[in-house]
Amino acid sequence: MFFNTHRVLVCALALATVSAGTLIAQDDLINRASFTAEGAVELPQDIRRWVYVGTPLTPNALNGGEAPFPEFHNVYVEPSAFDHWSATGTWADGSQIAKELVMIQTDEGTDPETGANAQVSGVGYFQGDFVGMELTVKDSTRYTDEPGNWAYFSFGHSGQPYAATAKAFETDSCNSCHEANAADDFVFTQFYPVLRAAKPTQ
Ligand code: HEC
């Protein structure tokens, strides 16, 4: 009996220590982006192993034939930033979120009007080739002047290989639209079911 109680106590203490440590050190545990000496961000190597959170799609057929981003937008959150989001519902300093653009698949059967394909599961849109990669990084030390401290990058929009590094865009090119329209601290969580589900309820 004594031993069991003792063991429970030790476990409880260990857990309390771990969670207190986690709370204090949370920002320090974020895996940050790498930068060149000139201040360009380096293309993260393992984006497709980050946490996949959703795929908005704005096809040409529904945007007068000229959608600014007619491809699938596969969005991935760096895992430590995802853990912080799940624990707090906020974006930690150092958070990284990537968006990979993927062409809609076409073949000889593609409907010229809708751009859709008929496949065994039905008529619709299926992912084709990778065509572009973008990244946003929240960094209060590097981007003191950017609203929300978020900077935005593109590693190209014309297929692979992507550029190895990218310079931050001007605030008006990217940040302003995110600031005005995104649901959670410049991030469009309203379009990512995995982030909506992971957000803690207050
Ligand atoms: C007119 C508004 C607008 C502008 C300008 C804009 N974005 Fe976005 N961005 C969005 C929307 C809406 C989403 C989510 C839905 C989607 O991808 O279609 C998004 C999502 C993203 C994401 C995924 C993370 C997130 O915040 O949701 C990244 C990364 C991103 N954009 C990068 C950029 C970059 C780089 C630029 C500038 C070259 C840029 N954006 C300019 C509207 C905008």
Quote the CA–CA distance of 1 and 179 in Å, as a whole number. 58
Quote the CA–CA distance of 81 and 78 in Å, as a whole number. 5
The pLDDT value recorded for residue 26 is 53
Quote the CA–CA distance of 168 and 149 in Å, as a whole number. 12
The pLDDT value recorded for residue 20 is 44
Report whether residue 18 contacts ligand 1, using a CB cutoff of 6 Å: no
Report whether residue 75 contacts ligand 1, using a CB cutoff of 6 Å: yes
For the stretch 142-187, pLDDT in tens is 999 999 999 999 999 999 999 999 999 999 999 999 999 999 999 9
**Residue labelled with tokens 């065509």:** 131
Share of the chain above pLDDT 70, in %: 86
Quote the CA–CA distance of 118 and 128 in Å, as a whole number. 14
Specify the 3-state DSSP secondary structure of 130: strand
Any idea which fold 31-198 has?
Chalcone isomerase (3.50.70)
The pLDDT value recorded for residue 157 is 95
**Residue ranges of the domains in the chain?**
1-29, 31-198
Q: How far is the CA of 70 from the centre of ligand 1 (A)?
A: 13
Report whether residue 77 contacts ligand 1, using a CB cutoff of 6 Å: no
The answer to which of 8-17, 71-80, 188-197 has the lowest mean pLDDT is 8-17
pLDDT bin (cut points 50, 70, 90) of residue 42 is: very high
Report whether residue 174 contacts ligand 1, using a CB cutoff of 6 Å: yes
pLDDT bin (cut points 50, 70, 90) of residue 28 is: low
Q: What is the mean pLDDT of residues 125-147?
A: 98
Q: How far is the CA of 189 from the centre of ligand 1 (A)?
A: 11
For ligand 1, atom 36, the nearest C-alpha belongs to: 174
Ligand 1 pocket check: which of 74, 75, 91, 99 to mutate, most ligand atoms within 8 Å of Cβ?
A: 99
Report whether residue 178 contacts ligand 1, using a CB cutoff of 6 Å: yes
The pLDDT value recorded for residue 202 is 73
Taking alpha carbons only, the member of 81, 9, 92 closest to residue 47 is: 81
Question: Exposed e or buried b for every residue in 81-113, given b needs 16+ CB within 10 A?
Answer: bbbbbbeebebbbbbbbbbbbbbbbeeeeeeee
The terminus-to-terminus CA distance of the chain in angstroms comes to 39
pLDDT bin (cut points 50, 70, 90) of residue 16 is: very low
For the stretch 82-118, pLDDT in tens is 999 999 999 999 999 999 999 999 999 999 999 999 9
Taking alpha carbons only, the member of 143, 142, 139, 151 closest to residue 175 is: 151
The answer to which of 23-32, 55-64, 89-98, 157-166 has the lowest mean pLDDT is 23-32
Mean pLDDT of the chain: 90
pTM of the model: 0.89
